[in-house]
A = this chain, B = another copy of it.
Amino acid sequence: MSALDDTDFAILRLLAEDAGQGAGAIGRACGLSQPAAWRRIKRLRDAGIVGGQRLVLDAEALGFGVTVFLGVKLATKGRVSLEDFERAVSAIPEVQTVEHVLGLYDYRLRVVARDLPDFERVLRRRIMTLPGAGEVEANVLLSEERRPGPLGGRH
């Protein structure tokens, strides 16, 4: 796995802003010919640095106006309870992200709902009934900003 140079980071930064553009546009933007840019992008893909590309869906436009982050503390921790919990939580469609974490909580969930009454339904009928779920903490999303993360700059 050879090290990435500045051009690779420039490509990643360009693709992080808009993954829709092709090798031609990338090449023009960083002074590379189209095949050269295409080869570098393929190398980044093959190396597993670029995992894929996901859609950015507007939850609000889809009718889901409420996003809540839940911190979940398990009541009983063990091999089995972790797997049971993960399997059960994966079956809830309103759960967008399941993060197994270390710290004050055991799991962090990102949950969407149409509105607050709908969220209460999800919380009472889906989340609180999860196997092994103990303490639950909630944070309602007001606004969100996503950034590319550290890509090549000096820190």
Which positions in A face B, CB cutoff 8 Å?
A: 1, 4, 12, 15-16, 18-20, 47-59, 61-62, 64, 69, 71, 86, 90, 93-105, 108, 112, 137-151, 153, 155
Name the CB-closest residue of B to A52.
B56
How many copies, total?
Answer: 2
Q: List 24 A-B contacts (CB under 8 A).
A: A4-B62, A15-B55, A19-B52, A19-B54, A20-B52, A47-B61, A49-B57, A49-B58, A49-B61, A49-B62, A50-B58, A51-B55, A57-B149, A69-B101, A86-B145, A90-B145, A93-B150, A94-B149, A99-B141, A99-B144, A101-B141, A102-B142, A108-B139, A112-B149
